[in-house]
């Protein structure tokens, strides 16, 4: 079931522009639905954006040196990146294993996981994540789209 048609302008204008800017191929995972904005497809879209943010983060960290070594090799940084990857894999596994529409608690939990991973990755990016056309803008769009869909009554609220 597609979400309220009143959300289509949000999808068409903001999300597609953000996907193009981030180099995402939104249609790959949504091809069978022709881009219909359903609660599950919104999660797939957010997960794809989160995976793109992971790539941006590891690329950025791989080019930074602290104390003569790459920052991406720091044990604390590696642990945080590994946590982000494992959370993304859990969300992907749960989404891929869904039979029918998930209940509200599952939707809320999966959205919270994606939001938490994005925020973790943004912290790893430091000041780079605050650039107007940078990764922070795309993560904020992902979270804001989720919030707008929830405000329209199509998704459960996610506690901070």
**pLDDT tens, 26-75?**
444 443 444 566 777 788 888 888 888 888 899 888 888 988 888 888 99
Domains along the chain? 5-151 (1.20.140.10)
The answer to whether the beta carbons of residues 83 and 52 sit under 8 Å apart is: no
Q: Which residue from 82, 60, 44 is spatially nearest to 134, judged by alpha carbons?
A: 60
Say whether 102 sits in a helix, a strand or coil. Answer: coil
- Which 8-state DSSP code applies to residue 157? -
Say whether 143 sits in a helix, a strand or coil. Answer: helix
pLDDT 10s digits, 134-148: 777 777 777 777 777
Specify the pairing of strand 65-66 against strand 69-70.
Answer: antiparallel
Q: What is the pLDDT of residue 20?
A: 56
**Alpha-carbon distance values, 6 to 2, 17, 133, 148 (Å):** 11, 18, 27, 11
Could you tell me which residues are beta bridge partners of residue 69?
Answer: 66
How far apart, in whole angstroms, are the C-alpha atoms of residue 22 and residue 69? Answer: 28
pLDDT above 90 for 8: no
How far apart, in whole angstroms, are the C-alpha atoms of residue 81 and residue 95? Answer: 21
pLDDT 10s digits, 85-113: 999 999 989 988 877 778 888 888 998 99
The answer to whether the beta carbons of residues 121 and 84 sit under 8 Å apart is: yes
């Amino acid at each position: 079931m597609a979400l309220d048609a009143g959300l289509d302008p949000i999808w068409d204008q903001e999300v597609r522009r953000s996907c193009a800017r981030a180099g995402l191929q939104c249609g790959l995972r949504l091809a069978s639905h022709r881009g219909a904005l359903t609660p599950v497809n919104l999660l797939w879209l957010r997960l794809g954006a989160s995976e793109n943010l992971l790539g941006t983060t590891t690329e950025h960290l791989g080019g930074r040196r602290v104390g003569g070594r790459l920052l991406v090799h720091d044990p604390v940084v590696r642990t945080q990146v590994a946590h982000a990857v494992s959370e993304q894999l859990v969300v992907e596994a749960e989404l891929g294993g869904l039979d029918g529409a998930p209940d509200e608690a599952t939707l809320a939990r999966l959205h919270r996981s994606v939001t938490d991973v994005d925020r973790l990755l943004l912290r790893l990016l430091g000041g780079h994540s605050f650039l107007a056309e940078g990764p922070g803008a795309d993560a904020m769009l992902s979270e804001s789209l989720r919030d707008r869909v929830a405000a329209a009554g199509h998704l459960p609220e996610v506690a901070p």
